[in-house]
Amino acid sequence: MRKQILLSTLGAVIVAVLLLGVPLCAFAVNQLWAAAHTDVDQSAKQYALAYDRTALAGKYVTDVTLAGWLWPGRGADSRIEVTTSDGRLLAYGKAPENARIISEVPTATGAKVRLLASSDSVQYRSAVFIMVALTGVAAAVLVGAFIAFRSSRRISAPLIYLSAQAQQLGSGGVRPRVNPSGIEEIDLVQDELVRASENLAGRLAAERQFASDVSHQLRTPLTALSMRVEEIQMISSEDEVRNEAGEALNQIERLAGVVEDLKRNSQHAGGGTTQAINVDEFLVHQQSEWEGPFKVADRPLVFRNETDRPALATPGSLGQVIATLLENSLKYGAGTTTVRAKMAGNKKGMFFEVSDEGEGVDDEIAPDIFKKGVSGHGSTGIGLALAKQLIEADGGKLELTVRRPPTFQVFVATVPASLDPNRVIPQGAIISVSRPKRRF
């Protein structure tokens, strides 16, 4: 959208400048030529009057006489010709190469005065005016481009945040943080998004409470029912009754499992949007998404997983943070881009490092690289600021650890080894088993 705003604003500026500038240039050049013709006409009339005064005084007009009539400064680029009443041709001055301004005036004594002037001066002034006009057009376009750039950033930045808030809502964060943008239409959408998130939060809270109450109310009767059916199975001497009791225990066990799952899901949903993320699967997903663009750019992309347990984060947020770093590396980096997942020293967290072999981050902007609007490449400066907010919402960190070559490090928590779903099965109360035996 930023590109469309920039192009549309520039197009409007260029059209407006052309609509005003072209007619203005044409009018100004026409006025310069008209003024030059008027000046030559007036000079020719003055020469005609001078000829009449000389002829009526009985003096003989010669070429030397014409030399005295030329106005000071006009002799170098003008030629005067007089055709007398008896047919003689008197002339003074060299004919200009560009004699495009010509004036012919008859005299009262029957002679004709013809004045030829060079158009070099008019052409030079016209060229100067056109150059000045073109300079003004270029300045107007530059000012328009600057205004369009500022306006596009002012409009696109709130839209990027709005998109992130919508993604946060879609990923399970039912209360996205909203900062007013100052643009009425965008703020209205943000307000509606907040209202929708509040409604969703209320519904989710009600559903979680209902699921928790139902699971709690059903678990005790199911346990009692299971014990009664076990009792019947143990004391019955008929095989048919024992078989039916066994089938009933299986159904009770299945129903108890459903209740436990319902309660576990309710408790998990009420604890936030973070969850255990399989690092291998996460990196494979990122590789499948970014391998194509890097291949088109002829840039190697390497993924390394040196972790031994799942990460604890919001999948959507962590995915967007890594995607932002990979996108920046693709646009502004060079050489091989490496994504490395490694454990922290205390085994309570892990790091995702994204590095390449580019020129890195300038020292001037490195301290403020995660601030909104800070960018060394003319972009919006929103991506890294948003990524830092997203990862910090999950209790993580995003840092620039090395400036040259650039290395960004994302810290997230890990699932404790005792709760790793790939190694252990969470313990729960034993309701019943097939072919149960009484415990004493």
User: SS3 string of the chain?
Assistant: CHHHHHHHHHHHHHHHHHHHHHHHHHHHHHHHHHHHHHHHHHHHHHHHHHHHHHHHCCCCCCHHHHHHHCCCCCCCCEEEEEECCCCCEEEECCCCCCCCEEEEEECCCCCEEEEEECCHHHHHHHHHHHHHHHHHHHHHHHHHHHHHHHHHHHHHHHHHHHHHHHHHHHCCCCCCCCCCCCCHHHHHHHHHHHHHHHHHHHHHHHHHHHHHHHHHHHHHHHHHHHHHHHHHHHHCCCHHHHHHHHHHHHHHHHHHHHHHHHHHHHHHHHCCCCEEECHHHHHHHHHHHHHHHHHHCCCCEEEEEECCCCEEECHHHHHHHHHHHHHHHHHHCCCCEEEEEEECCCCCEEEEEEECCCCCCCCCCHHHCCCCCCCCCCCCCCHHHHHHHHHHHCCCEEEEEECCCCEEEEEEEECCHHHCCCCCCCCCCCCCCCCCCCCC
Which residues does 170 contact at the CB level (< 8 Å), separation at least 6?
316
Contacts of 8 (CB under 8 A, 6+ apart): none
Residue 73's pLDDT is 46
Contact 336, 309 (CB under 8 A): no
Cα–Cα distance, 407 to 405 (Å, whole number): 7
Q: Which long-range contacts link 56-59 to residues 24+ away (Cβ below 8 Å)?
A: 56/109
Distance of CA 12 to the CA centre of its chain: 21
Q: Are strands 275-277 and 311-313 parallel, antiparallel or unpaired?
A: antiparallel
Contact assessment for residue 412 and residue 391, using Cβ atoms and an 8 Å cutoff: yes
Rounded Cα distance, 100 and 118, in Å: 6
Handedness of CA 295, 301, 305, 311 (dihedral sign): negative
Q: For residues 339 and 325, what is the distance between their CA atoms, to the nearest angstrom? A: 10
Q: How many C-beta neighbours within 10 Å does residue 382 have?
A: 21
Domains detected in the chain:
2-122 (3.30.450.250), 171-271+426-440 (1.10.287), 279-419 (3.30.565.10)
For β-strands 407-414 and 349-355, DSSP reports them as antiparallel
Tokens, residue 175: 């209360």
Rounded-to-integer distance, Cα 215 and Cα 193, Å: 32
Q: pLDDT (tens digit, 0 to 9) for every residue of the chain, 440 residues total?
A: 667 777 777 788 788 878 887 888 888 888 988 888 888 888 888 888 887 887 777 777 666 666 666 554 455 577 888 888 888 888 777 777 767 788 888 988 888 988 888 888 888 888 888 888 888 888 888 888 888 777 777 777 777 777 776 766 665 554 555 567 777 777 787 777 777 766 665 566 556 666 666 666 676 777 778 788 888 888 888 888 888 888 787 777 766 766 665 566 555 554 456 778 899 999 999 999 899 999 999 999 999 999 988 998 888 889 889 999 999 999 999 999 999 999 998 877 899 999 999 988 888 888 889 988 787 766 667 789 888 988 888 778 999 999 999 999 999 988 777 666 555 444 444 333 344 443 33
The pLDDT assigned to 267 comes to 53
Length of the chain: 440
